[in-house]
């Protein structure tokens, strides 16, 4: 389902259909970025200025032997490695490019993004309280994108667009909450086996954790086989996920989305929110059944603020 159709379905339920009427909600191109040098990895920053509500940001990347690429992108390719959306108040989105692809399946009801495309969203059918980003309150926004080096003699060309709408008169947005999606830790366990810990932030109401598993930098489907989430507070321990088989979590993900998540990913949802602020510490404990070369884990946290 398209981002716009998702929005229409969501906002009509809230009586806010004026926000996403066809004449109101529109995609707008905001910029094109080009490699400065052939076959070199670079960091690109696209400034986004908006006086409207921002529902989503679309990015596409391609490569060609043409230096400017103003007329076309060449061959589209999944060549980004990370995405970050920054406001003066801090990061709103920060994820690997692979996380973005997996998250799109979670939020898009099983519809994967096409090759070379990435999508940052502020609405999710699973999180009804998540509302659009008021562009004028988070001004300016900087979208920071890091790529893999293009092939020899090639340049990368990146196009960025935003889906925006006006705020109709009489709508109070003072209590709206924005969907933040970030990972904070890049954990490495080397050649160890057995149970290993990953520390989470403990100040937010979390709606989901997206786990990215790798071995020696390559996404891996089975480097970990079990998950336990443990929250500790004085005199008590809470275990919302208790040594569950990751293969079973993946199966539930597939049933929810209609398709499997990409290799190396699984998602744990908290539909009504998970108050992590009640804990002194909160950890994911993953089990490594067989030693890898360098087992790694990153967890994307989804929360409202």
pLDDT digits (tens, 9 = 90+) for 175-210: 889 999 999 999 999 999 999 999 999 988 999 999
Per-residue pLDDT for 95 more than 90? yes
Residue 90: left (phi > 0), alpha (psi -120 to 50), or beta?
Answer: left
Which tokens is 59 given? 């990015």
261 within 8 A of 269, measured Cβ to Cβ = no
Please state, in angstroms and as integers, the Cα–Cα distance from residue 18 to each residue in 24, 56, 166, following that order.
8, 17, 9
Q: How confident is the model at residue 1 (pLDDT cuts 50, 70, 90)?
A: very low
State the DSSP code for 260.
P
Strand, coil or helix: 1: coil
Helical H segments across 146-265, by residue range? 246-257
Label the pairing between strands 90-96 and 179-190: parallel
Q: Tell me the domains of the chain and their CATH numbers.
A: 3-177 (2.60.120.20), 180-304 (2.60.120.20)
Only one residue has tokens 């997206």, namely 210
Q: Over the stretch 275-305, which tens digit does the pLDDT of each residue have?
A: 999 999 999 999 999 999 999 999 999 999 9
Query: Which contiguous run of DSSP H or E holds residue 247?
Result: helix 246-257
- Cα–chain-centroid distance for residue 23? 28
Mean local confidence (pLDDT), 14-27: 62
């Amino acid at each position: 389902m398209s981002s716009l159709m998702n929005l229409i379905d969501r906002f009509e339920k809230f009586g806010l259909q004026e926000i996403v009427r066809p004449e109101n909600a529109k995609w707008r191109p905001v910029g094109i970025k080009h490699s400065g040098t052939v076959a070199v990895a670079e960091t690109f920053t696209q400034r986004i200025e908006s006086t409207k509500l921002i529902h989503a940001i679309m990015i596409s990347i391609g490569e060609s032997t043409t230096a400017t690429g103003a007329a076309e992108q060449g061959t589209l390719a999944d060549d980004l490695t990370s995405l970050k959306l920054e406001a003066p108040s801090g990061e709103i989105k920060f994820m690997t490019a692979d996380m973005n692809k997996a998250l799109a399946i979670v939020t898009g009801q099983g519809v994967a993004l096409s090759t070379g495309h990435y999508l940052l969203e502020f609405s999710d059918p699973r999180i009804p309280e998540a509302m659009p980003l008021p562009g004028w309150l988070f001004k300016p926004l900087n979208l920071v994108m890091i790529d893999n080096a293009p092939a020899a003699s090639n340049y990368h060309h990146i196009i960025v667009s935003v889906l925006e709408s006006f705020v109709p008169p009489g709508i109070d947005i003072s209590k709206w909450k924005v969907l933040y999606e970030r990972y904070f830790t890049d954990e490495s366990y080397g050649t160890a086996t057995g149970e290993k810990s990953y520390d989470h932030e403990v100040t937010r109401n979390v709606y989901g954790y997206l786990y990215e598993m790798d071995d020696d930098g390559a996404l891996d489907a089975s480097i970990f086989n079990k998950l336990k989430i443990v929250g500790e507070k004085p005199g008590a321990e809470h275990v919302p996920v208790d040594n569950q088989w990751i293969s079973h979590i993946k199966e539930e993900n597939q049933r929810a989305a209609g398709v499997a998540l990409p290799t190396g990913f699984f998602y744990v949802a908290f539909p009504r929110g998970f108050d992590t602020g009640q804990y002194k510490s909160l950890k994911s404990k993953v089990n490594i059944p067989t030693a890898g070369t360098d087992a790694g884990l990153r967890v994307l946290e989804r929360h409202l603020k």
